[in-house]
Amino acid sequence: MTGRNLVFLVLLLLGTAWSTFHLKYAVVRLERHAHGLEREIARTVDEIRTLETDLALRTHPDRIVAVAPKLDMVPVTVRQLVSASTLPDHARVAYADRMLAVLLPSGAEVPARLKPLALGGLPR
């Protein structure tokens, strides 16, 4: 074996060792990052479950019945029901759900919604 080949093989061996070393620690860093993301996902899922449970508790009918007097809530009576003829004309409220861009004198643009002038013959 010549000296030139020996130097080449030693450099090749050192390069391979260096690459393996850096690759190993890059994988270790990525595994740590993946474990951190898994912990964060587990924490978020746990938080979502907690919030869903809280919502179910707060909206349970028995709880609403218990809290209703404190909030001045009363059950619906027949006098509060209306006939279909007293509902507003669809043409008047057709644009109420659309957002429009309004240009202000300053040049800024803001979103706005249209509001019907009268509902069921009663002015607003």
102 with 110: CB under 8 angstroms? Answer: yes
Q: How far apart are CA 55 and CA 48, in angstroms?
A: 10
pTM as predicted = 0.45
Quote the pLDDT of residue 24: 95
Give the pLDDT mean for 81-90: 68
Q: Read off the tokens for 34.
A: 């993946």
Examine the pLDDT at 121 and tell me if it is beyond 60: no
Examine the pLDDT at 31 and tell me if it is beyond 70: yes
